[in-house]
Amino acid sequence: MAGPVNRPVPKPTEPGEIAAMTQIVTGSAMTDTAAFLALSQSIEAAVRQAAPLVAGIDWGGRQHISGVLWRRGVLVTSEQSLPDAEAYTAVLPGGARVAATLAGRDPSTNVVALRLEGEAPEITHAEPTGVGALTLALGSDGAGAATARLATLEVLGPAWESLRGGRIDRRLQIAVRLGHAAEGGPVIDAAGRLLGMSTFGPRRRVLVIPAATIGRVLEVLLREGRVLRGWLGVGLHPVALPRELAERTGAAQGLMVVNLAENAPAAGVLLPGDILLEIAGTPVATPRAVAAALGAERIGTAVALKVLRGGAPAELHVTVAARPT
């Protein structure tokens, strides 16, 4: 058995050393507190700066949603959450209630514009800096005050096409749980600058419609009342091609024509059972791809359609029409 181990006896801590250690710990805590307080004050300042952008919108019931006072006389919000109504009321910062009228809707980008009598502050737009950046999702409490939730930028991606064919300039998703009443409100960066408008995506994920998208669509909505989209008038269903056809055409999937609308532009050209592969040289394997290929610039023009008919490839031509309202 080993003998006892000789261990050094700890030297007693001198009073001066205790005081120094206490000062280090206390100073660190004070530094952390000061940093946390500074962050809190910065968030408050950003909300105060952006609060004049926030309006509430109601339509005679108990519910309301939020909107962005885009410029003098113009309010924008989330198209998917604004019901059709005979009249709308905007609740301005401070609580004033004014009538608002529908100017135009675009379901493809989820933007709706309303006109009203009211001022709006100058808006400074910003581009997102990167994933993890702090943002604030603002909303209206329905009585003239702003609500705010802190969120990080969870997803930052390139431009994308919505299911209805609208082009969204950036993919922005923030990590936050948002109440229904806050949808349509402004999303700002840490400096109080506008990134865009909040809206719910699949599974209530909070997406941001970028300010650039809103600005591009808004002028058309105010002028035309809607954004025109091209239309072929066909019902389509995705189908996988047999290996032989896939090798011959270079496409693994196509869209089978299942029906045609009355007075459809493609009536008499496409037939039920045709498999659509390309529009104007662009492969279309999903309905979303078709919508993206039929932008407003296509209306009134003839486009080439690559199809399979009875297993044989064919090229057809159709003049694109505007989608009916």
d(Cα 159, Cα 165) in Å, to the nearest integer?
A: 12
For residue 63, what is the domain's CATH number? 2.40.10.120
Q: Are 146 and 188 in a shared domain?
A: yes
Q: Are 127 and 28 in a shared domain?
A: yes
pLDDT for 3 equals 46
Residue 168 has phi, psi (to 5 degrees) of -105, 125
Q: Are 240 and 213 in a shared domain?
A: no
Q: Which of the listed residues 207, 227, 247 is the one where a domain comes to its end?
A: 227
For residue 307, what is the domain's CATH number? 2.30.42.10
Q: Which of the listed residues 178, 197, 227 is the one where a domain comes to its end?
A: 227
DSSP codes, 255-273: EEEEEE-TT-TTBTTB-TT
Q: Are 119 and 257 in a shared domain?
A: no
Q: Are 191 and 271 in a shared domain?
A: no
Residue 219: name the closest of 74, 90, 35 by CA: 74
Report the domain count for the chain. Answer: 2
pLDDT for 225 equals 92
Pair 89, 100: CB distance under 8 Å: yes
CB within 8 Å of 310: residues ≥ 6 apart? 273
Q: Which of the listed residues 227, 258, 285 is the one where a domain comes to its end?
A: 227
| Amino acid making up residue 7 | R
pLDDT for 2 equals 47
Q: Are 106 and 70 in a shared domain?
A: yes
- Read off the pLDDT band of 5 (50, 70, 90): very low
pLDDT for 22 equals 47
The helix/strand/coil state of 5 is coil
pLDDT for 29 equals 59
pLDDT tens-place string over residues 201-227:
999 999 999 999 999 999 999 998 998
Mean pLDDT of 235-254: 92
Q: Which domain holds residue 119?
A: 18-227
